Amino acid sequence: MQLTAGDVALVDASRAATYLSRHRSVQWLSLQLPRKSLQSHLGVEPQARLGRHGTRADRLLFNLIREADTEAAFSAGELYMQLAIYDLVGALFASSNPSPVSCSTDKLFARICGVIKNGFSDPDFGPHEAAVAARVSLRYVQKLFTARGTTCSEFIYSLRLDHAGYHLRRRALLGSGQPLSQIAYACGFRDYPHFARRFRNRFGYPPGAQAGYHQSAGDGIVRVGTGESASLTHDIQATTP
């Protein structure tokens, strides 16, 4: 893949990658994204490719990476910043020539995702409630998510777990001692055992494990890095020269 200044490429970090340049002064900026979180937010399996150049999303993402501290991880308190990054990456790597039908479908899917992001913290909220709020049939909602390699329920649980991860890291940093069951309910889980099981499956450690709150490679953390070569410690990278 040949890149020019300002280009953004999505790279699979599970495969070795080498960045070459004729100019010694070139600087590569990389954004390391956990695959599961990115897939959940985009609704599709991320594929390594070149993004659209010269778009507003391109400029916003570039400026965000450039102005961030080198090798800094966005803190748990910046959850919405992480969501904004996923939206920018989605805008960059969306189809560059969609048909009118797919464009309409994508807009509907984005609207449904917005409805879910507003309601996932309610334990009574599920695919049916999302369909009612979006004014479409439950079957069509399920069809839209299946076409993107996931399910509506898994997307809802992904958002709940991301939110729970934020609250648990905040709890650890502040030493608040907030009951874990209270956090689970606030994030949309009706009972703690179910929450604990899903949390362990997602992050690899139980909600009460203090060490888990400070893992730099956590599944919900976006990291920024700079340098002539990019570190491949996460699953997906958005890289720009």
The span from the CA of 238 to the CA of 65, in Å, is: 10
User: Are the C-beta atoms of residues 220 and 34 closer than 8 Å to each other?
Assistant: yes
Please enumerate in sequence order all residues whose Cβ is within 8 A of that of 154, keeping only pairs 6 or more positions apart, or say none.
40, 145
pLDDT of residue 44: 61
Residue 73, SS3?
A: strand
Amino acid at position 137, single letter: S
The span from the CA of 134 to the CA of 122, in Å, is: 16
Residue range 100-214, CATH number:
1.10.10.60
Amino acid at position 91, single letter: A
What is the phi/psi pair of residue 223, to 5°? -115, 150
Where in the chain are the domains?
9-14+25-96+223-240, 100-214
Give the number of other Cβ atoms within 10 Å of residue 225's Cβ. Answer: 22
Amino acid at position 175, single letter: G
Residue 200, SS3?
A: helix
Write out the chain's pLDDT in tens, 241 residues.
Answer: 777 777 788 888 888 877 777 777 777 777 788 777 776 666 566 777 776 666 777 778 777 777 765 445 555 445 556 667 777 777 777 654 444 445 668 888 989 999 999 999 999 999 999 999 988 889 889 999 998 888 999 999 999 999 998 888 888 888 888 899 999 999 999 999 999 999 998 888 888 874 344 443 344 444 555 444 333 333 445 555 5
The span from the CA of 30 to the CA of 165, in Å, is: 24
Radius of gyration of the chain (CA): 19
